[in-house]
């Protein structure tokens, strides 16, 4: 299978990014042709400081490598290093209905909140479609919030194919059932833009402080509680093994314990879960040249595939 996914360098990666998306990247790099990119063109709609965008991009690469992305198995690259994407983006823009883009959540949310939105945010799903279609991708591992955008991609690819003959492969989204929408500190979707995140490589003390802030209900300790549907329990389950998870669920149902205890168990479990990656990241951070080499290699392999697909699209619509 050809697998592709991208992640924005809009800030440091959080638990939601890892559990919903990055963990799938790592699993799917085995036995598949995998393309993973750092979406710096997308990030431009929110990050307007050049030095920060550069730093975020390097951090994103370091985080992904530390978490287990293997450059020998998967192609890791910067989106902007593949200029074919921007050309494909235009071809797809010409078949993208306004109404379809107006219904996309990222743009709709901003508009409903009365916030200014630029054309970049409006056409974001078209650029994302170009990203996906450029590699004949079959599977796109993502969190639940991106599933709509993959549908848009299928729509655009279908329209192009209907007009100009078979050109693009129609991709499918792949989400993980338990972690397609990881909750943040406030119980809403954990997101870099909502200030409710815990970062994967956050300073341990600061992570513990944030965990203590996770919202819970005000029921007395003695009262039995149902673990399903409690976002603190959901987070704990994502890091704990099945036996610990069951033991914690039994405690909830029995009552007579405090949320402080669950929070401490969550902090310990998350700390242990990322300990190895944390050590690997420290080693990698000392070798930024190696990281740049990996990104350059990944980009040259990605360009080979993307230029083949771009040529096909250009030919089919009469440009070449």
Q: Residue 87 or residue 138: which is nearer to ligand ATP going by CB?
A: 138
Q: Could you give the CA distance from residue 38 to residue 67 in angstroms, rounded to a whole number?
A: 15
Is 174 known to be catalytic?
A: no
Binding span for ligand ATP by CB under 6 A among 58-66, 158-166, 189-197, 222-230: 189-197
Does residue 10 interact with ligand ATP by CB under 6 A?
yes
Binding span for ligand ATP by CB under 6 A among 126-134, 182-190, 207-215, 263-271: 182-190
Does residue 142 interact with ligand ATP by CB under 6 A?
yes
Catalytic residue among 73, 174, 181, 189: 189
Q: Could you give the CA distance from residue 230 to residue 217 in angstroms, rounded to a whole number?
A: 9
Is 320 known to be catalytic?
A: no
Does residue 16 interact with ligand ATP by CB under 6 A?
yes
Binding span for ligand ATP by CB under 6 A among 142-150, 162-170, 238-246, 249-257: 142-150
Tell me which of 55, 86, 193, 254 binds ligand ATP, using CB under 6 A: 193
Does residue 129 interact with ligand ATP by CB under 6 A?
no
CB of 308 to ligand ATP, least distance (A): 26
CA separation, residue 68 to residues 57, 74, 201, 287, 311 (Å) = 17, 11, 14, 16, 34
Does residue 190 interact with ligand ATP by CB under 6 A?
yes
Positive or negative torsion for Cα 118, 121, 122, 124: positive
Binding span for ligand ATP by CB under 6 A among 93-101, 176-184, 232-240, 295-303: 176-184
Site residues, ligand ATP (CB under 6 A): 7-8, 10, 16-17, 20-21, 142-143, 145-146, 179-182, 189-193
């Amino acid at each position: 299978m050809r697998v592709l996914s991208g992640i924005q360098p809009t800030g440091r990666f959080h638990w939601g990014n890892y559990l919903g998306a990055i963990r799938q990247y790592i699993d799917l790099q085995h036995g598949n042709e995998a393309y993973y990119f750092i979406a710096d063109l997308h990030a431009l709609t929110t990050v307007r400081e050049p030095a920060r965008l550069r730093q975020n991009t390097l951090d994103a690469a370091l985080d992904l490598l530390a978490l287990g992305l293997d450059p020998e198995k998967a192609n890791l690259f910067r989106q902007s290093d593949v200029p074919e994407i921007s050309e494909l983006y235009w071809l797809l823009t010409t078949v993208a209905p306004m109404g379809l883009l107006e219904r996309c959540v990222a743009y709709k949310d901003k508009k409903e909140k009365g916030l200014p939105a630029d054309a970049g945010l409006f056409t974001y799903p078209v650029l994302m479609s170009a990203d996906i279609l450029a590699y004949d991708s079959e599977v796109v591992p993502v969190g639940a919030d991106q599933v709509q955008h993959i549908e848009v991609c299928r729509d655009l690819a279908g329209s192009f194919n209907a007009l100009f003959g078979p050109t693009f492969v129609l991709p499918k989204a792949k989400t993980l059932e338990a972690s397609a929408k990881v909750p943040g500190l406030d119980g809403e979707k954990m997101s870099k833009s909502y200030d409710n995140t815990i970062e994967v490589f956050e300073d341990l003390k600061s992570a513990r402080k944030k965990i203590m802030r996770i919202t819970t209900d005000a029921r007395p300790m003695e009262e039995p509680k149902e673990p399903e549907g409690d976002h603190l329990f959901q987070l704990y389950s994502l890091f704990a093994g099945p036996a610990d998870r069951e033991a914690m669920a039994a405690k909830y149902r029995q009552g007579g314990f405090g949320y402080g205890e669950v929070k401490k168990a969550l902090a310990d479990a998350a700390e242990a879960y990322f300990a190895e990656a944390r050590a690997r990241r420290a080693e990698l951070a000392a070798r930024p040249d190696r990281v740049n080499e990996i990104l350059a290699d990944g980009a040259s392999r990605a360009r080979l595939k993307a230029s083949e697909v771009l040529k096909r699209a250009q030919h089919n619509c009469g440009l070449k």
